[in-house]
Chains A and B, each alone.
Chain A
């Protein structure tokens, strides 16, 4: 699983001039434990996202269970599904409407790089949502399992706080970059 991006999501505000380390640590801890997702399910990956919020793979355990329908109250935008050219301006507008600090999780192969639609004669699919907005965590899979989405949240929390919540599995540590 790849990750890229900063601990502080890009926003429209200027970064603070004075940094107080202890306060920032507490703030990042609070923000990591209370990531409210924006329901932005576009296609099949949305089913896996809903299933991740369901009883079997409960996302609410990590504080991320309050899905808000409006971008003004959401912290993290889970782009779950194929982004078509028609939908692209809406994606950018929603991202702009989110208040800083904000993060983006690109879920599924379509959001990462166009997925199965990345062909020579592709005319309608945006090949990867990172052509439109900065992405923090990529979750590969077609569709990724709900546990992969939970791992994405744990990765995002690790990005913010610096410490990982659960130890990584031995298979995952043998990844090639």
Chain B
């Protein structure tokens, strides 16, 4: 008979597979984003079952709450009515199916030859005792300090790049007075 944790794991796993499959199959891109949202919640559930409650909460806050909302903004900019009317994206069915089945076979072969790696330094009881948040913090800021800082620098590069792309061009006229000043031959001083 199934124990409760096993039952929940089977439910989460099947739901993730089903939702991900549906997300690439529905016509409306907004519906597909909603299905991905539901899938992220189930992934958070799987994290919970691995004693990683901090990761589960962060998954929902960052991934489902912020990243996916920005995905949704981009989807809104696409003309949905055109998308829904298209019959299919790739010309022939056979090419798509061959590529998909090939990728599936590769993934299954890789999953079958999966070997468990060496165990970490923390046992489950130790993590449960001092809560996953604290364990994660201790590991991240002592043994994995360098990767943490590198990740921070990468994010900083992204933020600075975003600001540089969106900066206001000082030599372009945006108001009527500025255009008139440009036509008169003056420089735009701000």
In the complex, is A directly touching B at CB under 8 Å? no
